[in-house]
Amino acid sequence: MATCEFVFDVASPYSYLASTQLKALRERTGCELRLHPVALGGIFKSTGRAELPPPPQLRWMTHDLARWAKKYGVPFRFPSAFPTRTLLAQRAIVAAAGEEARQAAMHALFRAYWGEGWDVGEAEVVRTALDGARLDGAALIARAGEQPIKDELRANTDAAIERGVFGVPTFFVGQELFWGNDRLEFVEAALRTARRG
């Protein structure tokens, strides 16, 4: 079975868009999905990149994101709290036990931030979103504050940097890196090739 690794941060709107396509991608290719939550700020720091795009690019992005959301048929609302700190959200995803729970947490938090426009930098928003996904939001937030969870998110980020990740969303099929929501077609082709091989 081919494996698709998804490197993401809830802070990234293009990661949100890509995340909405993962289920269909799995169904079409039969791939195994592995999530790698990272701290996007740490990746930007490693590359010397500014955390926010310049105003003209940000204005363009709002229109581009709306186009992609319409194409995918998914809700999209540019949050007023942008940028926001997503460390708690990312750690809560790491804290979820098992791949299925992590996927549920990821989708809930992406939807809260980019679908509904809620500020996932606030613990109450994170808890409510996780509870809505039938997870124990309070317990995951508590675990998110534990050192092993913090260490795992940091290790994920360091490992992504070592593998050449410079932004999100990033996909890996084997050792091949694909960056961006608009590379999903190439990700799918690589998964089909890997499955045949």
pLDDT score at 1: 87
Residue 50 — very low, low, confident or very high, per pLDDT cuts 50/70/90?
A: confident
Question: 3-8 and 170-173 as β-strands: parallel, antiparallel, unpaired?
Answer: antiparallel
Question: Across residues 52-59, what is the average pLDDT?
Answer: 92
Residue 23 — very low, low, confident or very high, per pLDDT cuts 50/70/90?
A: very high
Residue 72 — very low, low, confident or very high, per pLDDT cuts 50/70/90?
A: very high
pLDDT score at 52: 85
pLDDT score at 139: 98
pLDDT score at 196: 86
Give the pLDDT confidence of 148-172 residue by residue, as tens digits.
999 999 999 999 999 999 999 999 9
List the CATH number of the domain containing 90: 3.40.30.10
* pLDDT greater than 90 at residue 49: no
**Domain ranges, residue 135:** 3-196
Domain count, the chain: 1
User: Residues 61-86, buried b or exposed e (16+ Cβ, 10 A)?
Assistant: eeebbeebbeeeebebeebeebebeb
Give the pLDDT confidence of 82-116 residue by residue, as tens digits.
999 999 999 999 999 999 999 999 999 999 999 99
Question: Across residues 7-26, what is the average pLDDT?
Answer: 98
